[in-house]
A and B are shown apart, each in its own frame.
Chain A
Amino acid sequence: MKMKDEIKELVDKQIISSEVAERINAYYRSKEDQAPNRLFIIFGVLGALLVGLGIILIVAHNWDEMPRTMKALLSFVPMLLGQAICVYTYFRKMESATWRESAPTFLFFAVGACIALISQIYNLGGDLSSFLLTWMLLCLPLVYIFNSSVVSLLYIIGISQYASELGSWNHSSNEVNLYWPLLFAVLYHYFTLIKNSPNSNFTRFHHWFIPLSVLVTIQSYISFSESSIIFVYITTLGLFLALSNWELLRLSESKFNSYKIIGIIGTVGFLLALSFDWYWDGLRSHHLSNKTFVNPIHFIFVLIFTILALIVLANNQRKKPLKELKFYSIIFLTFIPIYFIGLWHPIAKILINLLTFILGLTFIYDGVEKQNLAKLNGGLLTIMLLITCRFFDTDISFVIRGILFLILGIGFFLVNYWMLKKKKNEQ
């Protein structure tokens, strides 16, 4: 309606002729007809999710009076219904995004419900991981048959939970390693989404789900060694930061770069945690008692992720001057020598504090240079949190702490005020 009023105004003011106005109206009418009704897709998917979840809730309901075989056969009903809907969708409704997302989503939950019902009927306890693995493998093809992003996201959640379950039982790394080929199996769909619709909501969700899934899975390896797992986390976050500027992911086109946000927040968080004595004292005593530098499995991950990050960084930096390389992109490399120093000497803690402080300064510098308030405040926050952490392990009186906080707070305001004034003057 608004567009029509605008066009009418242009015609009235003789900016465009009435023939041109008619052609513009016809063009936008044809666009509306082709564009899928997004609200319909959302409600369709929500409806399928609710129906699917309702079926899952039926899992909690036991049927004592029925013969066991009858219960087992009835457990197939939701799955058969889901399969029928999927076949119908395949032959009749593949052009509709609503059907292509809703039908396989319903089948996804129906398959889970069937396996769960069978487990309940036969009182199978224990192993949630094998249930999840079977469920995910049986539903993975639906991602590609129907080009379904909802099933893809549910699949990513499922395999993350699968890896998490294995980690809670100290399974051998061979079983947890199965997560990686499971993740790779869905990456083709992810890259197809980026290529065809880089700014769609489904693509954005994938940009968040995949790195978070990887981070959740890494904690499954924690039982192998608690000290060196942090090495793996920091290297993984370094890889995310490298990927955040990788042109293939087209993350620069979106407002919120998920890999960068997760990478920066995670790196700052870990650096702040490592700025305390507890980690380095524990690392030295573990090294002294076990005579190991780093757990072999963790070492392999660090090596692979470091190589991948360096390849991506080199690709990002080609044809760009070295001064454009951000400090936060390479900070994970500085952790490698600090880790090994930390095996023998407490100076590692001081180095981490210095590293965190420099990182904060680079954010502030970057924020000032690009007149970006978010980066500026991020840098100030990093330094403020570092100082706050030091308050906990140094003997400074409350009065001095209070004064220091006041100075920091006033500094925060002044820097922001100065930046805003500078922006206004330049405009």
Chain B
Amino acid sequence: MNNKKLLFGILLLTIIAQLGISGSMIFQFEDIMNTGKEYKFRTAPIDPNDPFRGKYVSLSYLDNIVRVSLPDFEKLYGQKVYAIVENDQDGFAKIKSIAFKSTDLQRDYFQSNIMGVDSHQIVLNFPFDKFYMEESKAPQAEIIYNQAVIDTNQVTYALVKIKNGKAIIKDIYINDTSILQLIKSKNK
């Protein structure tokens, strides 16, 4: 009987943990969406050979390279770092510098990984590289996006909300128009 009570207690705790952790994820991300600072990250063309994955638009970014010389740079591949963000003179986000610890960072930053490194620069992997859409709209969105991003007359960027080291994409814009709006207007 005691064993049954103990197991029920563990079941209850498990259910609370499952609901609690999922709930706290939603609470945290809603907080970032509502109160995080907005940054516009310019996007780059994606590899045309990358097979379309159907449910999201794959994103790559122009300003993910940081010029810095680091000792033992060969061992840094895959290393977790914190990218410190600021706006440039055109109002687009750029990476000011990187840090290996997140304590005492006074500016906006997000967690990233080093994707490539040599003696004078590092290439960062941005965690916000997927924009999920309803599956019938994602292929259309990717076509519109790819056409826009290779056209130098058009400006494409991802609107990202950053707070306490976490970054979430809010939307993708082409010339200040949301990609979802563009798809809706094309389908009318």
Contacts and interface: CB of A to CB of B under 8 A. Distances in A.
Interface in A123-140: 123-127, 134, 138
Range for the number of chain B residues in contact with chain A: 35 or more
Contacts of A115: 22, 25
A126 B169 CA distance: 13
Interface in A68-94: 68-69, 72, 75-76, 79, 83, 86-87, 90
B134 A62 contact: yes
A62 B26 contact: no
B179 to A, nearest CB: 11
B16 to A, nearest CB: 10
Interface residues of A, number: 37
B14 A170 contact: no
Nearest to A171: B78
Select the residue from B15, B56, B77, B180 with max chain A CB neighbours within 10 A.
B15
B168 interface: yes
B11 interface: yes
A48 B124 CA distance: 41
Interface stretch (B38-46, B63-71, B82-90, B125-133): B125-133
A118 B26 contact: yes
A83 B130 CA distance: 31
B133 A62 contact: yes
Given A126-B129, A134-B21, A141 B11 contact: yes
Nearest to A69: B30
A64 interface: yes
Contact of A124 (B8, B78, B125, B168): B168
A64 B137 contact: yes
Contacts of B127: 124-127
Contacts of B14: 138, 141-142, 145
A61 B22 contact: no
A82 to B, nearest CB: 9
A170 B116 CA distance: 12
Nearest to A82: B18
A7 interface: no
A118 B78 CA distance: 26
Interface in A260-279: none
Interface in B104-134: 113, 125-134
B10 interface: yes
A114 interface: yes
